[in-house]
Amino acid sequence: MPASGAGPSSACGMPPDRSRPLLLLGGLAAFSLLALLISLVCGGMTLDPEHLWSALWAQGGLEHDLIWELRLPRALSAFAVGGLLALAGALMQVLLRNPLGDPYILGISGGAATASLLAMLAGASAAWLTGFAFGGALASMLLVFALAHGQGAWTPTRLLLTGVVIAAGWGALISLILAVSPAERLPGMLFWLMGDLSDADRPALPLLVLTAGSAWALLLAPGLNLLARGELQAAALGVEVRPLRLMIFLLASLLTAAAVTVGGSIGFVGLVAPHLFRLGAAGDHRLLIPGATLLGGSLLLLADTLARTLLSPQQLPVGVVTALLGVPVFLWLLHRTTPSRAPG
């Protein structure tokens, strides 16, 4: 196994090994299952892990309903949203060739938020909110694409600046909507803005999008590895850069749109999960795509479990938990990667 012998741990003297990526991904899959188990057990009513299995397959009963009706759909939704965000973040970071890239940096969540808040202001039902959020995300994506593409030149800097300015514009609109909204609508709006999974009970679609999206991203992975080294360098090594860039933009935008539609703008998972994998394991996107997806999914699943249980029965918006966990993790990462501390 070629490139994956790399990474900080091998820099400490571990020999490159063909089985290492499988071990790594297998370990992350096990970690995801563990996170799922924890989220099924924990909550307002704590279940006995030993009885979990029998409760799962029992005919009816309180515990059976609790798991199948409430906790499992929410856990799978959280996992899907975390995976979508991590995958979109990894793609955005390569597209913009900026380690600070995250799924929201180009204003996609801002578009979704503005549309959702307008729908809430108009008193639309929850079902409509989903449609509005997705429509807003798509509109923002097309706006950024058209404006950044306007003159033909589409450098990462131009795309980044266009996206950041559009995001700032959405931010202003969001503040405006909040300012003119009646007080009784504000809590719902604020929860949406902070990222909230309490209404996320239909995991099938986000899981499907996640599966298809990761498969698509895996096909792009060899090109992503080269694109991370610069567009010209990638082109000189045989990558058709323009179609690849376009596909990354579309894929990352659709993944983000799906994620914010389900859970609002949940912060930090999309930024931190790809970095955790890059720094802790490997930068090779053939591993990073599945690895960061599993990592993002399980991190958000754990964060959501905390959000449900920390002040139970009150539920915290999961975005607050991810941000509170994400800030120290990210600062630690930055500290760890200062050149003087790099291995070698």
Partner 1 sequence: MALLETHNLDVTVAGIRVCRGLDLRIRPGECWGLLGRNGAGKTTLLHTLAGLRAPDAGAIRLGGDPMGELPRREIARRLGLLFQDTETAFPATVMEAALAGRHPHLGRWGWEGAEDRRLTEAALRAVGLDGMHRRRIETLSGGEQRRLAIATLLAQDPALALLDEPTNHLDPNHQTGMLRLLQKRMQSGGRAMLLILHDINLALRFCDHLLLLFGGGDTLQGPASQVARREHLEHLYGCRVAEIPGGPHGPVYLPA
Question: Would you tell me which residues interact with partner 1 (CB under 8 A)?
Answer: 1-3, 5-8, 10-11, 16, 93-94, 97-99, 218-219, 221-222, 225-226, 228-230, 232-233, 235-241, 278-279, 283-284, 286, 337, 339, 342-344
To partner 1, the closest distance from the beta carbon of 214 in angstroms equals: 14
To partner 1, the closest distance from the beta carbon of 96 in angstroms equals: 9
How far is it, in rounded angstroms, from Cα 196 to Cα 200? 8
How far is it, in rounded angstroms, from Cα 158 to Cα 175? 26
Q: Output DSSP code: residue 12.
A: T
Q: Output DSSP code: residue 314.
A: S
Helices 241-263 and 126-149, axial angle in degrees (round to 10): 160
Closest to partner 1 by CB, 94 vs 193, is 94
What lies within 8 Å, CB to CB, of 279 at 6+ separation is 8, 333, 336, 337
How far is it, in rounded angstroms, from Cα 279 to Cα 335? 12
What radius of gyration, in Å, describes the C-alpha atoms of the chain?
20
Closest to partner 1 by CB, 119 vs 228, is 228
To partner 1, the closest distance from the beta carbon of 100 in angstroms equals: 10
Closest to partner 1 by CB, 182 vs 339, is 339
Closest to partner 1 by CB, 143 vs 281, is 281
What lies within 8 Å, CB to CB, of 238 at 6+ separation is 226
To partner 1, the closest distance from the beta carbon of 66 in angstroms equals: 43
Closest to partner 1 by CB, 5 vs 73, is 5
To partner 1, the closest distance from the beta carbon of 70 in angstroms equals: 40
To partner 1, the closest distance from the beta carbon of 83 in angstroms equals: 21
Q: How far apart are the first and last CA of the chain?
A: 22
Closest to partner 1 by CB, 46 vs 233, is 233
* Structure-block tokens of residue 244: 């690849």
Distance of CA 105 to the CA centre of its chain: 12
To partner 1, the closest distance from the beta carbon of 228 in angstroms equals: 5
Per the CB < 8 A criterion, the answer to whether 11 and 280 are in contact is no
Question: Whats the size of the chain, residue-wise?
Answer: 344
To partner 1, the closest distance from the beta carbon of 7 in angstroms equals: 7
CA atoms within 13 A on the CB side of 232: 1
How far is it, in rounded angstroms, from Cα 304 to Cα 70? 13
Closest to partner 1 by CB, 221 vs 247, is 221
Closest to partner 1 by CB, 228 vs 300, is 228
